[in-house]
Amino acid sequence: MGPLPGGEGEQAPQVQQQQQQQEQQQQQQQQQQEQQQQQQQETPQWLQQDAAKAAALRPLLDSWSEKEMNFYDSFRDFLLQHLCSLKEQQQQQQQQQQQQQQTQQQHEKQQQQQQQDCESQDQQTAANPMQQQQQQQEQQQQEQQQQQEHEDQQQQQQQEHEQQQQQQQEQDQQQQQEQDQQQQQQEQEEQQQQQQQEQDQQQQQQQQQQDTTGTTYLVESPEGLQRQLRCCVRRGPDFLYGLEGADTAAAAKRVSPV
């Protein structure tokens, strides 16, 4: 018998087509799942938990303008960044807490080990008196050494403190000396200025007194009048005087200084 129509040769392309469709559907489903997961990661937790609020916000978002949508997108990005930073902080805190717990556990283990070592040493020393005596001596030496180091440190601090005080005193003395020198120099300058002013004033007074005292002149006058007169007029080559006790017209003569 020959092959029936519509046999395996005709069914092979249909099977391949069905497999391709199934693979495409699986890929689409996988892509949808990935998109949903990405949206869930980008969407805040409070919005994921409350689907009713998300559904109620959808028509409002659809009615917004482009500026409002841009503002919403930027605000959503800000919230997402803030949530990411909070998540990072929480992770850092958790890591720090884990590190602290690990260090604390290690410290407790070390303390337990030290305590066990001390107990074993105590047991050994109790069994061996010579070893116990040696350990006591070593402990005393350590205590003496620590005490000596403490005393040396205190002595060094005392010396440094005294040295600082001495330096401060020297600085204070130097500043005081400089201030005294400046004050003394200022007083000397003021005294010199005062002396100079007094000298200038004395010279001025002497000059004024000399000018007011006058000068002796020889006067050409008629007989019977004095030949010397005192006058209080500026010096000059020639002066005219009106002599008292004589006729004004006759007594007006040219005078020459002595």
Q: Where are the domains of the chain?
A: 15-125
Question: Is the pLDDT score of 210 beyond 70?
Answer: no
- Give the pLDDT band of residue 254 (cuts 50, 70, 90): very low
Q: How far is CA 198 from CA 22, 89, 229, in A?
A: 125, 85, 34
Question: Is the pLDDT score of 58 beyond 50?
Answer: yes
List beta partners, residue 219.
Answer: 255
Among the listed ranges 45-59, 140-154, 179-193, which one has the minimum average pLDDT value?
Answer: 45-59
Task: Supply the angle between the helices 66-127 and 129-213 in degrees, to the nearest 10.
Answer: 130
Three-state secondary structure call for residue 222? coil
Retrieve residue 202's tokens. Answer: 């004395």
- Give the pLDDT band of residue 31 (cuts 50, 70, 90): confident
Residues 78-116 have pLDDT tens digits of 877 888 888 888 888 888 888 888 988 888 888 888 888
- Would you state the pLDDT for residue 127? 60
- Would you state the pLDDT for residue 257? 42
Question: Residue 131: what are its φ and ψ, rounded to 5°?
Answer: -65, -40
Between residues 183 and 249, the one the model is more confident about: 183
- Compute the distance between CA of residue 83 and CA of residue 256 in angstroms, rounded to an integer: 118
Q: Which of 70-74, 108-112, 245-249 has maximum average pLDDT? A: 108-112
Residues 221-242 have pLDDT tens digits of 555 555 444 444 444 444 444 4
The per-residue pLDDT of the chain, averaged, comes to: 74
- Compute the distance between CA of residue 252 and CA of residue 240 in angstroms, rounded to an integer: 6
Question: Residue 215: what are its φ and ψ, rounded to 5°?
Answer: -135, 150
Cβ neighbours, 10 Å, residue 255: 19
